[in-house]
Structure formats: C-alpha cells, structure tokens
Structure 1
Amino acid sequence: MRRNRRFPLLAAATATATAALLALTQLGGAHSAYAATLFGDDFSDGDTAGWSKSGGTWSVVTDGSPALQQAKGDTDNARLFAGSSSWTDYTVQARVKPLTLPANGATALLARASGSTTFYRLALLPGDQVRLESVRSGTATALGSASRPVAAGTWYTLGIEVAGSTVRGYVDGALVASGTGTLTATGRIGLQTRYATARYDDVTVTSGGTTPTTPPATVSPTATPTPTSTPPAGQSSVVARDGSGDFTSVQAAVNAVPSGNSSRYTITIRPGTYRELVTIPADRPYVSFVGSTGNAGDVVITYDNASGTPKPEGGTYGTSGSASVTIDGHDFTAKHLTFSNSFDEAAHDYSAEQAVAVLTRADRLVFDNVRFLGNQDTLYHNSVNSGTIGRAYFRNCHVEGDVDFIFGRGTGVFDRCEIRSLSRGSSSNNGYVTAPSTMISNPYGFLFTRCTLTTDSAGAQSVHLGRPWHPSGDVNAIGQVVFRDSVLGAHIKDSPWTDMSGFSWKDARFFEYRNTGAGATVTVDRPQLTDAQAPTYAAQKYLAGSDGWNPIS
C-alpha cells in the first residue's frame, strides 16, 4: 500500500475550477467535495511516528498489508493517540480486526480524546454488540448500541463522526448508533483495546464529517423542510376500481390530500390496473401509496405516453412529460405495488421512444417492494433543480428496462433489488442499466448494494452497466454510480461502462466493489473501490444528507 500519513494538520485549498472540484469528488482524495483529509496512516512505513503510546505491546505487522497490532491481551485500556488536540468537527475511520475478544474484552476507535480517560468510543464487544459511548474520567455512558455480528479474525471498518454535540457511529459504512455528547468539543483520535488484542489499518480523519453541517456553496443538499420529528399518523383513504372504496382513481385520492399536508396521509389501493396519469404535487408531502394485498403485482398504475407521443394541443410530451407517475411531494412512500409505462415500441415509429414509468423530483422518498416496468428510461430519478439533491431509498424492488432505464441526477440507493435488463434482440448491445447525470458538487449518485442483475433473454456480454449522461451538454453533470456486493449475470459486459454523446465514461465516477456472478469479471475497464474506500460508499452515506435521514432497515 502507498504511504498515506498526513501529519501534522494539512490545510485544504479551495477548489474553484471545475477540474479541481471534480478531483475532490473522485476517490483517493477527500471523502467528499467538502471534506479535507486531516490525517492518514496506513502504516506502510513500518513505524508509529505521530502516535503516542499508552500501555500494551504495539508493532507494525503484515496482514495483507502493513497493519498496527496491539498484542497484549491482559491490559485494560491499552491505546495510542494521534492528531491534534484542536480538532473539532471531523470523522475518524479505521479498519479494525479483533484477534482475541474475551467476555470482558473490547476493541475500539476513539474520537475527541482529550486525555487517556476522556473520549468518545465506538466499541466492538463480544456477544455481537457494537456500542457508541461517551467516556469521561474513565466512566462510560452509552449513547447508543446495535446488535450485529462481531467475530475475532474479521476486519471491520469503524467510523465516528463528531459534529457539534452530535456523535454518530458507523460499522462498514452503516449507521449503527447516534447520540448527543457533552464532552469537550475538541480532541485527538485513538485506537483502543480492553483485555483484547487487535490489528488496525487505514486510519483516516476528514474534516467536517461525512454529513456536513454547512453544504458546499454550489449546491443545496435539500430544499425539503427538515422535520423536527417523524410526522404523526394522519388521514387515510381507499382506492378501488369497483367503487367499494373512497375513490375509483388514484389521482382523485391524491387530490383529496389537503394542500400543505403535514402528517402522513395513507392511500390504500385495492387490486386492479389503474390506467391513469398520476402526479403528487409539491404541496402534498407525506403521501403513502400502499397496495392492499402485499403483492406488488396486484396493483398496477400505468399509462403509455412516450417522449415522441403527440400532445392534443400540439407538440410532443418529451421525456419528463411521458411519465406515468410524477412525484414532486417530499417524504412520499410506496409499498407493494407496480408503476409502469406500457408504451408499445413495436406499435409505434417515433423518433423519441423514451417512456418513463416514474419521475421523481422530490426528496426523502422510500419505495418498498415496488416494481418499475418499462423499456427505455423506465425510472427517472431526478431532483427539482440542478442545485438541489433529491434522495430515494429503493428496498426489495424490481426495476426493468433496456436503454438507460435508471437515470437522472438524483441520489438513490437500490438495496436488495432485482435489476432486470430486457433484450432488444441484439447479440452485442442490449442496452444500458444506468445513465446518471449527477452534479459535480454531489458526491453521491446511484448505489446498488446487495442487488441481483438479471435478464429476460439478453445474451452474454451484451449489456452495459452504464454511461454518463450530460443533459444539454452540461459539463458539470459528472455521473456517479457504484455497484457493490451484488450478483451480476452473464449478460453484463466485461467492459461494462461506455461513452455517451461524446463524453467519456472515464471522466465519470463509476466504480464496483466485491461483486460476484458471471458478469463480475474484473478487467482494466472496471474501476474497483479499495477496502478503505468502500465504507464511504455505503447506503447510509448516500442518504444521510444534512438532516441525518436514515430510512434503512
């Protein structure tokens, strides 16, 4: 591994040019466009310079790469400290591998350490427990905890984010605990064992946290009001085609939601195919669509406009106007139903056959057990404007199409979803899964984690993972996509990224990490995240924003 020590504190220069701003969002530099690296050590130089020893037996050993080992297992609170006592808001991250972890043991990462007995601590504990603690004068107070597998001999990536009085703990990129701390507002970092032995590697400290309290000037992280609490349960209605509910159409039920609605409004939809255009306006937030049976195939909302479909008043609908369902109201949720665009490509000869099933332009959206069906441009995950980020979480969903069927500048996490490519009858090119247009100031575009990429009948080596979309030639639309921990079918090309409209895919932010399956062959044309980088590109990092949103379950 390369030497990665930066100590003492480095000052980050302000990036003003487009190329400089892009460089900050690329992997290998700061973790985001607004975070500077304050300290880093991967122990590749074989020493512990910059660290202050305090008990234990510390040495640099090899564990795939150089790593720092604490080998004394009968010592309480053996630790090292590093960094600056003046650090305030920051995120510290390290890879940690417990070697021995007895019943009274712990292996931990420390933040804002103002001495040997006062600090914040994220600890791996026996019994499959992770605990975030505030330690003052040696007395620990739990800020939060989580149950998750903890095994000796396994590497974990721990992270602590301190921002004002807010403290958050992460394991392998997932938020596991958070709380409010009252310790000193500044301090160093530390590595700790308690009656345990462990190895540590790839320690980094970045300024400002991964969830910045002040967003970059070039982009507002969200135009959505930040709720002080979860909206209370509100009104509800039932949609049924047969007249047995409150409404016979979905749009009629949406129209009945009060303008300026401030509580959850649940619209339960009974089985049937609802052929209608549906729009959730911006002044109707907190709306939920719920299929009544729990089977996503029982409730279908569909229409069949395409971009080139003539409008009655003249002209054509265009890509955005082709959407069967348009979501402008923030905090929308959908469960157990299907959104579809049923445009028949074979029956028409339009020059523009983009046909959107769902267009999102709002923030904090959740789709759970939802199917998105179409061909070209099925799911348009966007935002209200280029200076605003729109976030969405897709859990256990099914998305299918052929050309650019997941596209836009939105920030979206696809968790445990089936991504299904439809055949276009070609032996060499059956389309593109993604076409992101993520703005350069946004470090997060599309994340596919624990997904399965399948096909109906597309041949081997015939589908691309994606290509960079620059709407109207916008040079600041620098697409960002990560496929990680997913199973890729044989239809995925060995060189899965490709250019679009004269823009090179190599200038985009395309990465993979630990994928499997016949389509996951690693080649020179497939940039891979390193183990150290991977936690920065996990689901909660994408979704947290400035309000700490966490819909993941």
Structure 2
Amino acid sequence: MPRNRRPLFALAAAALVALTQLGGAPSAHAATLFGDDFADGDTAGWSRSGGAWSVVADDGRALQQAKGDTDNARLFAGDPSWSDYAVQARVKPLTLPADGATALLARASGTTTFYRLALLPGNQVRLESVRSGTATALGATSRPVAAGTWYTLKIEVAGATVRGYVDGTLVGAGTGALAATGRIGVQTRYATARYDDVTVTSGGTAPTTPPPTTSPTASPTGPPPAGRSAVVARDGSGDFTSVQAAVNAVPAGNSARFTITIKPGTYRELVTIPADRPYVSFVGSTGNARDVVITYDNASGTPKPGGGTYGTSGSASVTIDGHDFTATHLTFSNSFDEAAHDYGAEQAVAVLTRADRLVFDDVRFLGNQDTLYHNSASNSAIGRAYFRGCYVEGDVDFVFGRGTGVFDRCEIRSLSRGSSSNNGYVTAPSTMIGNPYGFLFTGCALTTDSAAAQSVHLGRPWHPSGDVNAIGQVVFRDSTLGAHVKNSPWTDMSGFSWRDARFSEYRNTGPGSAVTADRPQLTDAQASTYTAQRYLAGPDGWNPTY
C-alpha cells in the first residue's frame, strides 16, 4: 500500500532496518529518510521551481505537473546534506512530445545541477549528469515508454557511483563529481506527468551488474531469475513494484515454470506476456482473487498519444502471448467507464489471449463490453485455455474470439444495461471452420446483477471482417441458467444467421433453460464428444482438468 509521508529529516530518529532495494543489493543499514504518497492532498515539504503542480486523484492520490509548455518544471524535497541514498518513485508521463522528458532527480545541489533519470520519447530511458543545465549521458537503454503508463524509476548514489533503474532493470551506471550531497526531485520538460510513492532510503548500495546492451525483452540485469520466481508488491517489500517488471525478469526463451507471486493491491498498468516468455505463472499471494487486481482503462475508441485509437485488441489490460501461462487467485479488469465517455467504440478488453495451453484457476475477469478476448495466434493456430472456478462478468459479447476455451464450474455474470428486452450477449465466437471446438460451458452458473428476465442472449456469431470461415462454436451443458436468459437465446450478428453457426445446449437447468424450437439440443451420443477433455486434448493430449 502507499506510504504515509514521513518527516524530511528522519535519519537521526529512524530505526535501521534491513531493506532489499528494487534492482539493487541489500543494504545492511538502510533507513527511511523520506516518503510521500500524497495521500494528504498537498505538496508540503516540497519546493517548487516552475510548472503547475497539484495533487490529483489517480487510483488514490498522485502529484501532477500539468503545464505542458514549460521547459524546466521542477519540484525538490529533502535535505541538501544527504549523501549516499536511493530515491525511488512511480512516474507516469501524461504527454510526452518529441522534445519532452519526465524525470526523477538525485543529489540536486542546485536548481540546475543534479543527477537525472529521464523517460524520453522514442522509447528511450537515459541516466544523466546535469551541471548548470548541461546534460552528460551516463547510460541509456531502449525500452517501451508510453504516455499513460506508470513506471518505477530509481536512482542510487553511493560515493562517486550513480546507477539508474526502470522497473527493476538497470539502465546505466557511471561515476560523477557533480556533488557529494544533495536533495531529491522530480522534473518535466515540455511534458505533463504524475508522480507517486516517492521514497528515499539511506545507504545507496549498488550492485556491480553492467547495464543492458540489448532491448528490454532480453534477460534482465535486476532480480531474479535466480530461483525462477519473483514477488511483486506495491509497497516495495517484494522484488518488483509492478507486474510488468516481474514479467520482464523472465529470461527470453524460458523453458521452465517461472512463478510471479503478487501481493495484495491494485496494479494499474498494462501487462504483456510476450511470446518468447512461456511458462509464466501469476499467483495471488492471499488465495483470495479479490485481493490482487490488475487493471487498466483503455477502450477501443480511446485516443492514442500518437494519433488514432487503440482498437479492440489494443484496449486489453493484459495480453498473453506466451504459451503455458497460468493464473491463480487474482483479478484481471478493464476499468473503462462507459458512462463517462462517448467514443462510439467502447469495447474494453480485460484479457486478450493469443497463446496455447493456458490455465486460469479462481480468476475474476471484470469489464463490460468484450471483457474476455480468447483468441489464438493466427487463423490456423489453436489457442486452448482451461478456466476453472472462474468469474466472468460483462454485458455485450463478453466472452469472444476464435480460441478453444473450457469454462468449468464458473460463474458467468451478465450486467444490466437498463433494458427491459436486450441486456446483451454472453458469447461472440469466431471459431474457424476447421476447428470443431470453440467455447464449452460445463457445470457453470449464469447469473445477473439486475438484468430483466428474458433479456440476455447466450450468443451470436462473430465473423471478423466478414470472414465466412469463422463459424462460431459454443456449447452450454449441465449448467444453471438464470431467468435473464432468453427463451430464444441465440441471435444474428452483422447479417450472419445464428442458425449457420454451431450453437447448442445439453441438460441445462434453471428458469432460463426452457427448451424451445430456437434452442438446439445435443443428443446423449453427441454430448459424449463435447467434453472438457475433448475440447482441450489437441494433438498433444493436453488434459489440465481436475
């Protein structure tokens, strides 16, 4: 959780504690010198030098610099006598034009002399020595830098040695003779940004690992992979403070299970598991899926900083391209607020899967339109996933795509759109014609928050870009259907008839399960070929069910 503000000059009174520093080695005598999470709503203890600084709401409270035409907006804190220390902050660029920068400062001996770790346009991060406004690079790396994304920046100063980290990965290191002491600070140049969870600890101990010379998708120089595990905690008590930083720590070409344990908190960030990082597991540390939430709020129509919009796939809070991924005891969410926007394209994906052999156990998927996009790597590829004891909520097409997915003993919850007759569609499959298996719901409960009776469809056939070979396949079997499910539960989409799709049911119960002429039912013989094991087996005989 965010830290409360601590006194600026706490060194003499602070108890010495053992603290493992993000991206660095443990310091045996690290003490907290300063901390500010801006929860009190002001900037007391900070001195201003240009810009328009205020505290705003952002998953809690955060410091914001909102003046984009200022070439050197700075805010300083701390004691000018501080020497060896580490300063860390979460930083989110809001706008980052071609000449812009968003930075964290250390050992500021004046308003224009300091060490600086800067996020730059063009996917660049640079560690610099700045004297009287003139910058000299100490190290740099190329890595994704996007407006609207939180990053954790850290600078360590120890004697003449300076090191900079982004999300736990070493950016650069060098020696400098600017000043032996100085305050900390934050800075923007022709940019706007937010800052949160600023902490300063004494010691400044730094590792000897050299900076990376390749892209950020290569094996990291920070912790781990030793032990093939990592811990993520927002309060800094783990190896990383962001989930993506932990994913980046997985070695490229990974061939064994790498477990990322995530401590309680809301992690507002975009997360991608790349195709070259298979066998990754996310595990919520408490065993309660509600305690760990990974979320973001892009929608299909959300404007991108460089122009255009994100589109449906680009709206995903979490994208999974690495095969054999698993997730347990956590929540994936897209927190896009439909009522606050009028984009015209409001698909907002919580999770996009494009990989094979995925397992989700006790996982919650939250959103509205297009919550869970279960897809595959290509039209010819099969992407299998097993969802056991999960919770999926939404309203329009909230389980969709061409993937092969088994939903076993899950709750599928339809949210009300306030209509008396049409509160949306549970599924929108685009299963390719050569694949006999799309979505199977077995032993599930179809529930609603408040949708009217007879107002929700089980599904409609999605033909992406009019693809006539996308012949959706869905079976609901042995499940309990609430009264919100229509007696004619399948419907057409974009001129394609549901009757040409592969939709059927088998032995469902509940007030929404009445068998009618518009509800194709499997025979007992047919039902034996539509089981979880049949859906998931594929050519390798995969069977994760239990």
After superposition, give the CA deviation of every residue in 1:232-252 in whole Å (9 maximum; x if it has no partner).
x96000000000000000000
Residue 505 (str. 1) matches residue 498 (str. 2): yes
Residue 261 (str. 1) matches residue 254 (str. 2): yes
Question: SS at 1:512's partner residue?
Answer: strand
After superposition, give the CA deviation of every residue in 1:437-474 in whole Å (9 maximum; x if it has no partner).
00000000000000000000000000000000000000
The Cα shift of 1:482 comes to 0.0
The Cα shift of 1:386 comes to 0.2
Q: How does 1:300-449 map to 2 (within 5 A)?
A: 300-449=293-442
After superposition, give the CA deviation of every residue in 1:57-111 in whole Å (9 maximum; x if it has no partner).
xxxxxxxxxxxxxxxxxxxxxxxxxxxxxxxxxxxxxxxxxxxxxxxxxxxxxxx
> Are the structure 2 counterparts of residues 234 and 545 from structure 1 closer, same or farther at C-alpha, using a change threshold of 3 Å?
farther
Report the counterpart of residue 482 of structure 1 in structure 2: 475
1:496 & 1:504 partners in 2: Cα distance?
Answer: 13
The Cα shift of 1:414 comes to 0.0
CA contact (8 A) 1:419 1:451 kept: yes
Residue 464 (str. 1) matches residue 442 (str. 2): no
Report the counterpart of residue 532 of structure 1 in structure 2: 525
After superposition, give the CA deviation of every residue in 1:295-316 in whole Å (9 maximum; x if it has no partner).
0000000000000000000000
1:535 & 1:273 partners in 2: Cα distance?
Answer: 42
1:247 & 1:429 partners in 2: Cα distance?
Answer: 44
After superposition, give the CA deviation of every residue in 1:460-496 in whole Å (9 maximum; x if it has no partner).
0000000000000000000000000000000000000
Question: SS at 1:246's partner residue?
Answer: coil
Question: SS at 1:319's partner residue?
Answer: helix
The TM-score normalised by the length of structure 1 is: 0.58
CA contact (8 A) 1:486 1:514 kept: yes
User: Aligned AA for 2:282?
Assistant: F
Residue 452 (str. 1) matches residue 445 (str. 2): yes
2:459 & 2:251 partners in 1: Cα distance?
Answer: 40
1:349 & 1:362 partners in 2: Cα distance?
Answer: 32
Which of 248, 251, 261 is equivalent to 2:244?
A: 251
Identity of aligned residues (%): 88
User: Aligned AA for 1:475?
Assistant: V
2:344 & 2:534 partners in 1: Cα distance?
Answer: 39
Report the counterpart of residue 127 of structure 1 in structure 2: none
Question: SS at 1:540's partner residue?
Answer: helix
Report the counterpart of residue 517 of structure 1 in structure 2: 510
The TM-score normalised by the length of structure 2 is: 0.59
CA contact (8 A) 1:234 1:264 kept: no
User: Aligned AA for 1:436?
Assistant: P
2:528 & 2:348 partners in 1: Cα distance?
Answer: 35
Which of 530, 534, 537 is equivalent to 1:541?
A: 534
Report the counterpart of residue 196 of structure 1 in structure 2: none
2:526 & 2:322 partners in 1: Cα distance?
Answer: 34
CA contact (8 A) 1:445 1:479 kept: yes
The Cα shift of 1:423 comes to 0.1
CA contact (8 A) 1:358 1:378 kept: yes
User: Aligned AA for 1:399?
Assistant: V
After superposition, give the CA deviation of every residue in 1:322-366 in whole Å (9 maximum; x if it has no partner).
000000000000000000000000000001000000000000000
Question: SS at 2:528's partner residue?
Answer: helix
Q: How does 1:158-173 map to 2 (within 5 A)?
A: none
User: Aligned AA for 1:472?
Assistant: S
After superposition, give the CA deviation of every residue in 1:121-147 in whole Å (9 maximum; x if it has no partner).
xxxxxxxxxxxxxxxxxxxxxxxxxxx
User: Aligned AA for 1:428?
Assistant: S
Question: SS at 1:279's partner residue?
Answer: strand
After superposition, give the CA deviation of every residue in 1:163-192 in whole Å (9 maximum; x if it has no partner).
xxxxxxxxxxxxxxxxxxxxxxxxxxxxxx
Q: How does 1:164-203 map to 2 (within 5 A)?
A: none
User: Aligned AA for 1:539?
Assistant: A
CA contact (8 A) 1:383 1:410 kept: yes
Report the counterpart of residue 60 of structure 1 in structure 2: none
CA contact (8 A) 1:238 1:268 kept: yes
After superposition, give the CA deviation of every residue in 1:418-444 in whole Å (9 maximum; x if it has no partner).
000000000000000000000000000
After superposition, give the CA deviation of every residue in 1:379-438 in whole Å (9 maximum; x if it has no partner).
000001000010000000000000000000000000000000000000000000000000
Residue 297 (str. 1) matches residue 290 (str. 2): yes
Q: How does 1:14-413 map to 2 (within 5 A)?
A: 235-413=228-406
1:498 & 1:533 partners in 2: Cα distance?
Answer: 23
Report the counterpart of residue 550 of structure 1 in structure 2: 543
Unaligned runs of at least 5 residues, structure 2: 1-225
Higher RCO (CA-CA < 8 Å; seq separation 6+): 1
The Cα shift of 1:277 comes to 0.1
Question: SS at 1:537's partner residue?
Answer: coil
Question: SS at 1:536's partner residue?
Answer: coil
User: Aligned AA for 1:375?
Assistant: N
**4+ long deviations beyond 3 Å:** none
CA contact (8 A) 1:234 1:263 kept: no
After superposition, give the CA deviation of every residue in 1:245-268 in whole Å (9 maximum; x if it has no partner).
000000000000000000000000
1:410 & 1:547 partners in 2: Cα distance?
Answer: 17
Report the counterpart of residue 199 of structure 2 in structure 1: none
1:234 & 1:409 partners in 2: Cα distance?
Answer: 36
